[in-house]
Amino acid sequence: MSLLDIDALRATPLKREPYDYFVVEHFVKPEVFAKVLADFPTIESTGSIPPSELDIHGAFEQLLDEMNGPEFRKAIEEKFGLDLSDRPTMFTVRGNCARSNGKIHTDTESKIITVLLYMNQEWDKDGGRLRILRSATDLNDAAEEVSPNGGTLLVFRRSENSWHGHEPFEGPRRAIQMNWVRDEAVVEHEQRRHRFTMFLKRINPFGGVAARAS
């Protein structure tokens, strides 16, 4: 049984303002969401962690496999009018948010498509809701605010104006980030960077390593 609602993705229109993006609530099917969440890896630290550094198993492993599979890729290609068949993918997982996370940014130029899948049971907090922004300077000038719960999917095309960010929040905030990127060198560089950041946090957990989070 598929964990992802690809039909709902295909039925969701692509929004063009302020940049190309779309949101699908309950993209992880509600009847399997609790099972996937139960297999979400235990993460004590903040920051983005490569799956290779985590205990990936069960329904969570199936979820990553489906996201990295041909059906999901084809649906994304159709939505954005792209050919991603020769573009590598890159995953990171987050379990916790620091108050320093969420600053406005566009994502790096080496990324083509950003996929964010939020894996929180519910969300009644004021902060931590990702905003699709019209500018680099005003967090309140938002086209849409996305609550990070219930298997909600956000996908956008990275561009020079793909600004996004969120109000400060500190605490558990589970998310998967997937990117189609320019080439394998990007994957290798980013994975090394994330592993080095994890190393710094292990030796100095109060060092305040800055990180942007979506």
Q: What is the residue whose two structure tokens read 């969440």?
A: 37
Q: What is the residue whose two structure tokens read 């983005």?
A: 48
pLDDT of residue 186: 80
Q: Give every CB contact of residue 174 below 8 A, 6+ residues apart in sequence.
A: 37, 40, 43, 93, 94, 95, 118, 119, 120, 148
Residues in the chain, pLDDT under 50: 206, 208-210
- Torsion angle defined by CA atoms of residues 75, 10, 50 and 65, in that order, rounded to the nearest 10 degrees: -70
pTM above 0.75, yes or no: yes
Residue 172 and residue 95 in contact, taking contact as beta carbons nearer than 8 Å: yes
pLDDT of residue 192: 73
Task: Give the integer Cα–Cα distance in Å for 86 and 71.
Answer: 15
Q: What is the pLDDT of residues 93-127, one digit of tens each?
A: 999 999 999 999 999 999 999 999 999 999 999 89
Residue 64 tokens, joined = 């990553």
pLDDT of residue 194: 62
pLDDT of residue 206: 46
